[in-house]
Chain A
Amino acid sequence: MGLVVEGTALGAPQGSHPEPWVVGSNHSQAGGGHGSSISGIQIVTFKWHHVEAPYLIALWILVAGVSKMVVELNHSLTSVIPESALLICIGWILGGIIYGADKVQTFSLTPTVFFFYLLPQVILDAGYFMPNKLFFSNMGAILVYAVIGTCWNAATVGLSLWGCWLGGAMGDIDIGLLQFLLFGSLIAAVDPVAVIAVFEEVHVNEVLFIMVFGESLLNDGVTVVLFNVFDAFVSLGGAEIDAVEIIKGIISFFVVAFGGSLVGIIFALLISLLTRCTKNIQIIEPGFIFVLGYLSYLTAEMLSLSAILSIVFCGICCQKYINANMDERSVTTVRYVMKVIANGSETIIFVFLGISAIDPAIWVWNTGFILLTLLFIFVFRFIGVFLLTWILNKYRLVPLEFIDQVVMSYGGLRGAVAYGLVAMLDENKFNEKNLMVSTTLIVVYFTVMLQGITMKPLVTWLKVKRAAVTELTLAEKIQNRTFDHMLVAIEDISGQIGHNYMRDKWHNFEERWLCWFLMKPSARKSRDYIFNIFHQLNLKDAISYVKEGERRGSLAFVRNETKADVDFNKKFRANFSEIMPDIMADNMGPDHVPLSSILQDIVPSVCLDMHELDLKMRESEDFNAHHLLQQHLYRGRKQHRHRYSRSHLETNKDENEVQEIFERTMRSRLESFKSAKMGVAPAKKIQTKHQKKDKPQKMPNGNSTDKSKNHPYGDKDFEFSEGDSASGGEAAGGSFPMRAYRAEAGIVNPAFMAEMDPMDNMQQMQQIPHAALLPQTLTSFDP
């Protein structure tokens, strides 16, 4: 991007103060003894200049954080006015205070700081949390909007302004066509930071969001090229421009865009490969992600390619593999740190956008220029979006509705990137730089504040389809998977190469080659999507089970009588009743369990009827409640209990513990079979069958504890940057009553289901009715 280094960092003051590193002799009271005569040993000295730069930086970060806190104090205010607008206002106030104190602008948002230290993490966050499936399925449309839309905006705004200038609407300013085009190109781009900030309050439907958001990210390729090309043209002067230069400009677009993406993809590969080998240094694993992401940004910048595209694709491509490869805690760390620094940077950006305005030196007011700019970007945005959508809808399977188009046009917000670019202009080449800066600031304020405030009411008024808040049920997720396969199959049958066919082919390729290359072997095993969903649900149930037990205050987890005896298949009960009529009665001795509770086991569960067992526990002396607890709840210990929370899922990473529990229960089950005395041979058959079946089950079980935590928007699990896990909590709470009854479906589940196939066991059951019916329940009846 050809930055002009301004020479001062964020915190360093401009102008009036001397260089911080030179402690001159005019500072008599401080200065650590350089140069000035020392009159005696000073016990304490005030060494301001010693710490000035880092102190100011840290102080500003603190101020930004406190502003955010102040803004969020009143929730009713933030629901009307977007946070970004309020932060800008606070920036104004702060800027006013500083100006009042110093009479000159000492702090402002400099391009260096913005582009090197504040923007990369926001974009990395965007890329890392990008819902890939949604993004790539709409990629065509996004690219059309990003490339053609931005070029259209740049051209029309620039040319219209030029036309108006020729017509004399702006009075007398020293500017030319090329400068207008340059201005148009930097003001045309939709800004990702602003889009995130505004759209996160307004939960529009996912397709709409991904369109605007994707466009804001991908248009950097175009913006960079246009900016550089027109900057070069302005330097060359109008006379030097000929067809060759224009062609070079067009070629540079492709090079910059694809080159930038390629750099990002290469770094994504590096990150994935690296995380594959970091098993022994899990504690610093997360650091690699950030460092390599930042390096991808800088590398692209170094090669004059599109840095934003690079870091976006780095985040997009690596998310799946690093989530699979890294330890669960590292994944959580990466997610949270990413959010912290992205949010922090966003806050600082907006505060400083406000502060930068408080400087009379930069303000040049030209009514015509400013008003016309506002008008043109607004109008041409609408025209551009509608035109492109009309063309796109002919080719899209699901056309974009009119209302969505309106919101998309209205959501074309300009932000800090435009300001950064305009601040980078050279005053010597651009005589009207201050005018452009002022105009850009006003445009940014207009879009972020006015359009931000009115976005939510507009969306509500137009009845735009909103994002689904509730989590998908397991059934829906299964159906989604079925759809994918079904659509591929129909495309195959009808003989067409379609979208689904391509996606399927890519999927196969990726599974065969990329996952083999980039994922750890252990991660590869537990990749299956539906199993992961199931696994997550089991974990949630286990957690809510623990919570419920804690809530009742009892370690024994006594449950209420009205358990839902959701017996799916009457057939089983009927079959059992024919074979074993004597067991149907409920009042048996201590070591018999009623049939009804056994049939609950059709739903996979480790131990079913805790209450009845509890009673029996008290009856039989040798029963050990602690033993029961140990079997069915792996982390009964205090220090782990309170760490379970709805917002972050801490899985049971202790494979050894799971295995140990499993082995213990297996052992007890074997013993119970031996004690059944129903004939050695059939009993042995069941044992070996269980052993054989369960042992291989252990592997995926134990290792599947580290799984990918994906937040695919396509599965309606999208988490906006603020993390609305609260809504996830409520949704779970609502379905709790049913979940509790499956709550024992813990991690060991699939293994215990090995023998619960009544159909298979039918034959054995006829011979060993008694023992076979008591597979799981007998675990607790360990004499």
Chain B
Amino acid sequence: MGALQSLPDEPEYRDLSEKTGFSFEQIGILHKRFKQLSHNEDTLRRDDLNTIPDLACNPIRTQIIEAFFDKRNFHQNGEGTVQEISFEEFLVVMSHFRPPALNMTEEQRENIRREKLRFLFNMHDTDNDGTITLEEYRHVVEELLSRSGALGKETAKGIADAAMLEVASISVGHMEPDEFYEGITFEHFLKILKDIEIETRMNIRFLNMDTTNLCNDWRQERPQRQRFEWLERKT
């Protein structure tokens, strides 16, 4: 995998760095990864992400992949989904997982929390009506449990229903017999998850050193190389 093109110039990185908060080295590494995933094109498609082998056994991979193509996560007040994304949008989505800096004011921390929770919310609220309805939540739980196999849709439904009931009781309290609970709004979502310290939990470490080549060479490249060798030998 030596055919990587040279990295873009600094000014582009500077804009991106300001926008997303990553350091130059991190942007460089992520750019390499982007090019690797998109096979050196400028845009990334769903299929490119689907080909990551390790992602195949992740129960919620469709939701994650969808999140990358969801315009709401691009911070540009757009809606709907796109078919392909550029590097900038890729970075913006990744920036949701950046750990907060050490010294932040309470307000900044709160903003970051809202952003991350908004990302989560968007991931669950697939039809973008501003609420997570029972069907959507059921879908979430089903996917989570899909790895266990035997438990099935009915259990997932039961769990989702129970969780929704809890949310209803927490957010709305006692309800009259003819009221009904439409779905979890973003405010309710914030309320339920306020005890989870999401700003510390929903982070991954973006390295400043380039270890991508190490693991990716091992994870992805070898099967292809073997395939080509076999072809060559045949001819």
Contacts and interface: CB of A to CB of B under 8 A. Distances in A.
Physical interaction between A and B:
yes
Interface of A: 393, 397-399, 468, 470, 472-476, 478-483, 485-501, 508, 525, 527-528, 530-531, 533-534, 537, 562-570, 596, 602-604, 693, 696-697, 699-700, 735, 737-738, 742, 745, 749-751, 753-754, 756-757
B204 A496 contact: yes
Given A478-B163, A494-B94, A530 B192 contact: no
B178 interface: yes
B163 A475 contact: yes
B193 A486 contact: no
B82 interface: no
A482 B36 contact: no
Given A533-B159, A563-B177, 19 more contacts: A397-B203, A478-B159, A485-B59, A486-B64, A486-B123, A493-B64, A495-B33, A501-B54, A528-B148, A530-B159, A565-B178, A568-B161, A604-B161, A604-B162, A697-B154, A700-B151, A738-B165, A745-B158, A753-B157
Contacts of B154: 693, 697, 750-751, 753-754, 757
B102 interface: yes
A732 B71 CA distance: 41
Nearest to B117: A479
Contact of B204 (A490, A534, A537): A490
A565 B177 contact: yes
A275 to B, nearest CB: 23
A408 to B, nearest CB: 18
A745 B162 CA distance: 9
B193 A476 contact: yes
A569 B180 CA distance: 7
A476 B158 CA distance: 16
B181 A567 contact: yes
B202 A486 contact: yes
B133 interface: yes
Nearest to A604: B158
Interface string B149-186: 01111110111011111111110001111111111000
B87 interface: no
B195 interface: yes
A562 B214 CA distance: 63
Contact of B181 (A397, A498, A568): A568
A479 B148 contact: no
A604 B157 contact: yes
A525 B150 contact: yes
A778 B192 CA distance: 37
22 contacts: A474-B162, A475-B193, A476-B196, A478-B159, A479-B196, A480-B196, A486-B202, A487-B204, A489-B64, A494-B206, A495-B215, A496-B215, A530-B145, A564-B175, A565-B175, A566-B180, A568-B183, A569-B135, A604-B162, A742-B165, A745-B158, A745-B162
A236 B61 CA distance: 64
Contact of B120 (A399, A482, A492, A531): A482
Contacts of A476: 192-193, 195-196
B190 interface: no
Dominant secondary structure at the A interface: helix
Interface in B184-219: 192-193, 195-196, 200-207, 211-212, 214-216
Contact of B60 (A482, A492, A562, A742): A482
Contact of B159 (A474, A493, A737): A474
A393 B101 CA distance: 12
Contacts of B151: 528, 531, 700, 750
Nearest to A541: B162
Contact of A566 (B54, B175, B200, B215): B175
Contacts of B159: 474, 478, 530-531, 533-534
Contacts of B162: 474, 534, 537, 603-604, 742, 745
B16 interface: no
Given A493-B64, A494-B206, A530 B144 contact: yes
A473 B192 contact: yes
A496 B206 contact: yes
Contact of A488 (B58, B123, B170): B58
A561 to B, nearest CB: 8
Contacts of A737: 169, 174
A696 B168 CA distance: 32
A539 to B, nearest CB: 12
A562 B211 CA distance: 61
B231 interface: no
Contacts of A479: 120, 193, 196
Given A478-B163, A490-B94, A568 B58 contact: no
Given A487-B202, A531-B151, A567-B181, A495 B141 contact: no
Contacts of B55: 489, 492-493
Among A487, A525, A569, A757, the most chain B Cβ lie within 10 Å of the Cβ of A569
B215 A497 contact: yes
Contacts of B140: 478, 482
Contact of B134 (A500, A508, A569, A693): A569
A485 B144 contact: yes
Interface string B95-123: 00101001000000000000000001001
A495 B212 contact: yes
A482 B141 CA distance: 9
A480 B178 CA distance: 33
A596 B180 CA distance: 11
A568 B134 contact: yes
Nearest to B33: A495
A495 B216 contact: yes
Contacts of B175: 564-566
The residue in A399, A494, A497, A567 that gathers the most chain B C-beta atoms within 10 A of its C-beta is A494
Contacts of A490: 64, 94, 97, 204
B212 A398 contact: no
- Please indicate which of the listed interface residues A483, A693, A697, A738 has the most CB atoms of chain B within 10 Å of its own CB: A738
Contact of A473 (B94, B163, B207): B163
B150 A485 contact: no
A496 B134 contact: no
Nearest to B212: A495
A77 B50 CA distance: 62
Contacts of A489: 55, 58, 60-61, 64
B205 A499 contact: yes
A754 B177 CA distance: 26
Contacts of B204: 397, 487, 490-491, 494, 496, 498-500
A438 to B, nearest CB: 45
A299 B167 CA distance: 51
B161 A603 contact: yes
A700 B145 CA distance: 14
Contacts of B59: 485
B205 A498 contact: yes
Contact of A565 (B54, B163, B180): B180
Contacts of B212: 495-496
Nearest to A531: B151
A527 B149 CA distance: 11
Contacts of A496: 204-207, 211-212, 215
A534 B158 CA distance: 8
B157 A757 contact: yes
Interface in B58-103: 58-61, 64, 68, 94, 97, 99, 102
* Residue of A488, A490, A501 ringed by the most chain B CB atoms within 10 A: A490
Contacts of A470: 195
Contacts of A700: 150-151
Contacts of B200: 397-398
B52 A492 contact: yes
